[in-house]
Structure 1
Amino acid sequence: MANGQKPTINDVARLSGVSKKTVSRVINKSPLLNDATRGKVEAVIAQLGYVPNLQARALALRRNFLLGLIHDNPNAQMVLGVQEGILDTIRATEFALVVRPVDRHSPTLLDDIRGFIEQQRLYGVMLLPPISENDNLARMCLDLGCTVVRMGSARLDEDARLVASNDRQAVSEAVAWLAELGHTRIGFIAGPEGFRSARERQDGFVEGMARAGLKPDPAIMARGTYRFESGRAAGEQLLSAKEPPTAVFSSNDEMAAGLLHAARERGLDVPQDLSIIGFDDTATAAHIWPPLTTVRWPIRTMASTAARKLIEPGSAAAAPSLFPSDLIRRASAVPRPGKDAQ
């Protein structure tokens, strides 16, 4: 450049014959560009030796290149999966991730999050369930000039601000499959009160039982907290019933692992005496013995897509918002004794 001036994004755009927004998308590794455009802009960037001035851009935007992950979720593996998904998208960009756990029951929740966003000058925020279900919180983030994406187990917002799964349908199909295996005494461990995911999964259990012509028995239904110990306690309760279940659907893998522990303490064989299905398909599911049959919640893919929506809100509506869950059949669920496999 003349007089030793550093090249600017305007120079890159002019020599590439594209807009500044397109150059910005190349810098941010956007997947929405074709290879020809990306290659042309990258060649000009290399030719000029252009280096983005993040500080200047942050000042112009009045925002740092930070994405906030805000959660009050007891499932540590789920939160880790979300972090990994976001990092999959931003690893090669100028963005960084800041994680903020909160207490959804705090009377100062909104003020605390407002202070966090303003202090960090966040570019965008991803909200995990159950606080993602708080419409006032999502609205406040938008009012602060922050892009927002909400993760949920049902439709919470418009497509540009949503990544959601079909929990109810997935659980219904899993429970109906247990019935096809000959199980009629099917127990259920629900998630904690106040979680939309817990409600959706419980509704799915009821629907799946109805599809099979079965009626849920409250004597073999219990509520947990999405944590291992609560699954163990729920398992002790279910297995102490006068007529214990031959199969149990657990609303997440951590509680399913606790149930498995309770069954082993009673000398029961899993799956011959008790079939178990979990939900999430976290690392726990594949690592315990027997490996856990579970509903795969595509957490990492959902989080990666959410990060793209945060970085490029103008094109967010084109990205998917619904991510189907699949039943992953492993060794923890088999036909009821005396029932041939389907």
Structure 2
Amino acid sequence: MDKPKKSVRRKTSGVTIDEVAARAGVSPMTVSRVINQGKVRDTTRERVMDAVRELGYTPNLAASTLAAAQHTRVALIYTNPSGAYLRELLVGLLRVASNAAIQLVIDYWDTLEPAAERKAARALSGRVDGVILPPPLCESPAAVSELVKAGIPVIAIASGRLGDGISCVRIDDFHAGKEIAEHLIQHGHTRIGFICGRHDLSASARRYEGFVTALDEAGLEVESGLVQHGDYTYRSGLDAAEKLLSHPRPPTAVFASNDDMGAAVISVAHRRGLDVPRDLSVVGFDDSSAATTVWPELTTVQQPIGAMADAALELLLRSIRRKGEAPLELTDHLVPHRLVVRDSVARPPKRR
């Protein structure tokens, strides 16, 4: 005897989107498009809706919310920062964007002049809902002013300049720079070299100010010959390190404004036959992957890039949702930093 057929109608909680897709002979993505009023053929839409009615399927509200979020497009614009810094920022943003079902658009603006940046910003503003600007573009007057004029919510990462119509997510670079300089002073160093970051970034200036304050409070002078300029690249770190270590009275320690330049200092020291940290102590900044791919590994300041990416996207989504409802509320969001002590610092060598 044939078994009686079971009713095709089931409890709502037991029906999945995959079952609807199988009944309609389409993919789960097509079912999602139909439910969220996406663009599909009329015959396909009818077939899917027939399956929905037959199975008694009710869309999950949380899933619908995520599907709607997929229409939110956020752009990350970058131009030649530290490779290690950019990788960690990208990983953090991609993870958060994936969890929130946001479409992340990545734009590369290297070597653009201000006029070209304005043109690119105008073109971008017509196809995204919000923009994240890491250094150095976070402080580009051309890019920032054009995006703000277009009414696009913008979040700057690692910028201390609040007031240009954009919000910021950053660490306290002044106190971080002061803290790591004090770490060297506590180990007995009195001749400390410093490699600056990009001259057009406020974060670079704040780190240097923290360094100078630490030396001043310890009764130490900042010798001009022990301060060299870099631009956050490994190559600029090599050039700066050669100048510092060629000084008639070279420093016993070097504070590099990021880990790429710190790794370069270690490379130059090794090439000159110096032992790190026995002959020369070196510290970096950011705690990027560059800090742990050299020997010895760098003592550095951890700039929690993943947490900064999370905070930036949260602030940006809040601004996007409130767009047009109220005046834009600018936020200066501080993320805690941390001193990471490794093996690149020791007491200065005894005078021979």
The alignment's TM-score, normalised by the length of structure 2, stands at: 0.75
What whole-Å deviation, never above 9, does each CA across 1:193-228 have from its counterpart, x for those lacking one?
Answer: 212222121112111211211111112221112111
Task: Please say if residues 196 and 208 of structure 2, whose CA atoms lie closer than 8 Å, have aligned partners that are also in contact.
Answer: yes
Task: Please say if residues 285 and 294 of structure 1, whose CA atoms lie closer than 8 Å, have aligned partners that are also in contact.
Answer: yes
What whole-Å deviation, never above 9, does each CA across 1:85-144 have from its counterpart, x for those lacking one?
Answer: 2122221233121111224544321112211232xx101100112221245633432443
Partner SS, residue 157 of structure 2: strand
Counterpart Cα distance in 2 of 1:160 and 1:117: 15
> Which residue number corresponds to residue 340 of structure 2?
328
> Which residue number corresponds to residue 185 of structure 1?
191
Task: Please say if residues 115 and 142 of structure 2, whose CA atoms lie closer than 8 Å, have aligned partners that are also in contact.
Answer: no
Counterpart Cα distance in 1 of 2:244 and 2:253: 10
Counterpart Cα distance in 2 of 1:256 and 1:49: 51
Superposed, 1:79-98 pairs within 5 Å as 79-98=86-105
Partner SS, residue 98 of structure 1: strand
Q: Which amino acid aligns with 1:222?
A: Q
Q: Pick closer, same or farther for the CA change 1:166–1:185 going to 2, 3 Å.
A: same
2:234 counterpart of 1:223: no
Structure 2: 5+ residue stretches without partners: 1-11, 13-23, 25-30, 38-56, 323-327
Match among 200, 208, 226 for residue 206 of structure 2: 200
Q: Pick closer, same or farther for the CA change 1:333–1:54 going to 2, 3 Å.
A: closer
Partner SS, residue 339 of structure 2: strand
What whole-Å deviation, never above 9, does each CA across 1:229-264 have from its counterpart, x for those lacking one?
Answer: 211111111011111110010001001111111101
2:175 counterpart of 1:164: no
Counterpart Cα distance in 1 of 2:165 and 2:172: 15
Q: Which amino acid aligns with 2:230?
A: G
Larger radius of gyration: 2
Q: Which amino acid aligns with 2:92?
A: G
Counterpart Cα distance in 2 of 1:179 and 1:323: 25
Q: Which amino acid aligns with 1:332?
A: S
2:78 counterpart of 1:75: no
Q: Pick closer, same or farther for the CA change 1:139–1:268 going to 2, 3 Å.
A: same
Match among 123, 143, 154 for residue 115 of structure 1: 123
Counterpart Cα distance in 2 of 1:237 and 1:160: 38
Partner SS, residue 79 of structure 1: helix
Task: Please say if residues 230 and 236 of structure 2, whose CA atoms lie closer than 8 Å, have aligned partners that are also in contact.
Answer: yes
> Which residue number corresponds to residue 252 of structure 2?
246
What whole-Å deviation, never above 9, does each CA across 1:303-340 have from its counterpart, x for those lacking one?
Answer: 1111122223258979981012221100001122359x
Counterpart Cα distance in 1 of 2:304 and 2:215: 24
2:59 counterpart of 1:48: yes
Task: Please say if residues 129 and 196 of structure 1, whose CA atoms lie closer than 8 Å, have aligned partners that are also in contact.
Answer: no
> Which residue number corresponds to residue 210 of structure 1?
216
Superposed, 1:5-20 pairs within 5 Å as none
Cα RMSD between the aligned structures?
3.2
Q: Which amino acid aligns with 1:122?
A: V
Counterpart Cα distance in 1 of 2:138 and 2:186: 35
Q: Pick closer, same or farther for the CA change 1:319–1:112 going to 2, 3 Å.
A: closer
Partner SS, residue 279 of structure 1: coil
Counterpart Cα distance in 2 of 1:49 and 1:180: 58
Counting aligned pairs with the same residue, the percent is 33
Counterpart Cα distance in 2 of 1:169 and 1:159: 25
Q: Pick closer, same or farther for the CA change 1:283–1:100 going to 2, 3 Å.
A: same
> Which residue number corresponds to residue 18 of structure 1?
none
Counterpart Cα distance in 2 of 1:338 and 1:305: 46
What whole-Å deviation, never above 9, does each CA across 1:275-316 have from its counterpart, x for those lacking one?
Answer: 000001001111211010011111121011111222232589
